[in-house]
Structure 1
Amino acid sequence: MKPFTESGASDHSPEAELPGRSGPFATTEAEPRDVGPVRTSYAPDRDGDPDPGEIVWTWVPYEENDGRGKDRPVLVVAREPAGTLLAVQLSSKRHDRDHEWVPIGVGPWDQRGRESWVDVDRVLRIHDEGMRREACALDRGRFDRVVTRLRERYGWR
């Protein structure tokens, strides 16, 4: 895992130093129906690397794809054969009646103890080196609830 550091150099903003923001390990949007066979798994391992079932922090570009985004938690749902991972973003904004969002409740990924939702409409591709930190492992029941919705929506296994 690449440690989070701020360069302090005048030609680099601290935001540019966030893992996953740019370069070969940038977080990108994946087309979930075109990624090939996806086998989701629950395999959290508190080893500093992102694993399926874990919530990790990385840079997430805004949907407008205009270069803006923010550092946020994502739930890792699968590892791809090339070593990249597929993940879905979390939000503390209420999405009670929105079918594209799965409620997962509260957890240590949110220091303010707010309820969270997972967006199954948007799948992200992340890299081990593009992650800032592990937050926690999501329990198996909540993970399975998210994965069930992803399988229904995209035909994953």
Structure 2
Amino acid sequence: MRLFKKFRRSEGNSASNHHDGRMSRFLRRNFSTQGNLDEGLQLLNEYLGLTAANSHLTMSGDETVKAPTQAHARAVIYAPDMDGQADPGEVVWVNIRTQKNGELELRSVLIIGRRKHTLLGLLISSNADFNDSPNWIRIGSGPWEQEGNEAYIRLDKVLEVPESEIQRRGVSMPERRYDLIAARLRSDYGWH
């Protein structure tokens, strides 16, 4: 701050050339760029743990909890908003184990609610065996299924997922399909 005041006082003086030189040297020495923007972003990503080398650290375990749907009965609304938080109606991707002691799989999940920083979601699957199961309903194809197959959503289990463990891709369930899911949650599982 003192240097800035000194520089401002000297602007009108003939001796300002001397101070301009000092200021220029000061600015070059302390504020010159080293490398380029890509290198800076790479360093920042490494520091934040967002590089491929660190990806095993961020998504290393199955942090999801599976619970009966009735245990989470609450108001169900459609409110997708591609802001900072995942909202009901959005489809997100989560690393989960679908079988006991199985490998982690990146699976699509429909968000139906939240509890602070924990999201409540329903598992989406393209397994046609679920077509006749009373705990699953058909939701059709969409961006939640990479190969364009018909998909189904599980209603009897809610996944509790830490919001920090999801991947967002800007996908939301169409409102009419979400309304069908909400109607089943209300009629069969005590949601309102």
Q: Structure 2 counterpart of 1:55, which letter?
A: V
1:119 positional shift? 0.7
Moved over 6 A (4+): none
How many residue pairs match? The answer is 144
Unaligned runs of at least 5 residues, structure 2: 1-47
Give 1:6's aligned residue.
52
The answer to whether structure 1 residue 32 and structure 2 residue 69 are counterparts is yes
1:127 positional shift? 2.2
Post-superposition Cα deviations, 1:57-77, rounded to whole Å, max 9, x if no partner, equal: 01122253x364311000001
- Structure with greater strand share of residues: 1
Match of 2:98 among 62, 72, 97: 62
1:47 positional shift? 2.3
Distance in 2 of aligned mates of 1:150 and 1:3: 38
Q: Structure 1 counterpart of 2:157, which letter?
A: R
Structure with larger RCO (C-alpha < 8 A, sep 6+): 1
Secondary structure (helix, strand or coil) at the match of 1:30 reads strand
1:133 positional shift? 2.1
| Aligned partners of 2:68 and 2:156 also within 8 Å | no
Distance in 2 of aligned mates of 1:122 and 1:27: 12
Secondary structure (helix, strand or coil) at the match of 1:7 reads helix
Distance in 1 of aligned mates of 2:121 and 2:159: 5
The answer to whether structure 1 residue 18 and structure 2 residue 53 are counterparts is no
Distance in 2 of aligned mates of 1:135 and 1:115: 20
Secondary structure (helix, strand or coil) at the match of 1:136 reads strand
Q: CA 1:114–1:137 in structure 2 vs 1: closer, same or farther (change >3 Å)?
A: same
The answer to whether structure 1 residue 50 and structure 2 residue 96 are counterparts is no
Q: CA 1:108–1:79 in structure 2 vs 1: closer, same or farther (change >3 Å)?
A: same
Post-superposition Cα deviations, 1:48-93, rounded to whole Å, max 9, x if no partner, equal: 53210011101122253x364311000001122x332210000011
Unaligned runs of at least 5 residues, structure 1: 9-13
- Structure with greater helix share of residues: 2
Q: Structure 2 counterpart of 1:89, which letter?
A: L
Give 1:130's aligned residue.
165
Distance in 1 of aligned mates of 2:50 and 2:127: 26
Give 1:92's aligned residue.
126
Q: Could you tell me the TM-score, scaled by structure 2's length?
A: 0.65
Percent identical residues: 32
Q: CA 1:109–1:33 in structure 2 vs 1: closer, same or farther (change >3 Å)?
A: closer
1:39 positional shift? 1.6
Distance in 1 of aligned mates of 2:56 and 2:144: 20
Q: CA 1:135–1:74 in structure 2 vs 1: closer, same or farther (change >3 Å)?
A: farther
| Aligned partners of 1:40 and 1:79 also within 8 Å | no
| Aligned partners of 1:54 and 1:134 also within 8 Å | no
Query: Whose Rg is larger?
Result: 2
Q: Structure 1 counterpart of 2:172, which letter?
A: A
